[in-house]
């Protein structure tokens, strides 16, 4: 995700943590090449942000 968005892994991890704590994501862990990897899935279909 970080590479795709042009950011750092630390920033992507921090944003995922915020979304998880807000109840917008659910996460599970699976074995990866170097330990565990976190798989995240949205819990909502749509988020609307009105900046009026």
What pLDDT, on the 0 to 100 scale, is given for residue 6?
85
Exposed e or buried b for every residue in 36-50, given b needs 16+ CB within 10 A?
A: eeeeeeeeeeeeeee
pTM for the model stands at 0.67
What pLDDT, on the 0 to 100 scale, is given for residue 2?
76
What pLDDT, on the 0 to 100 scale, is given for residue 52?
87
Distance CA 38, CA 47 (A): 22
What pLDDT, on the 0 to 100 scale, is given for residue 38?
86
Print pLDDT tens along the chain (52 aa).
778 878 898 888 898 899 999 999 999 999 989 899 889 899 999 888 899 8
What pLDDT, on the 0 to 100 scale, is given for residue 5?
77
For 31, other C-beta atoms within 10 Å of its C-beta total 8
Q: How far is CA 46 from the centre of its chain?
A: 15
């Amino acid at each position: 995700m970080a590479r795709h968005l042009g950011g750092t892994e630390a920033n992507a991890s921090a944003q995922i943590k915020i979304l998880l704590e807000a109840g917008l994501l659910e996460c599970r862990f699976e074995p990866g090449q170097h330990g565990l990897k976190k798989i995240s899935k949205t819990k909502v279909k749509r988020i609307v942000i009105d900046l009026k």
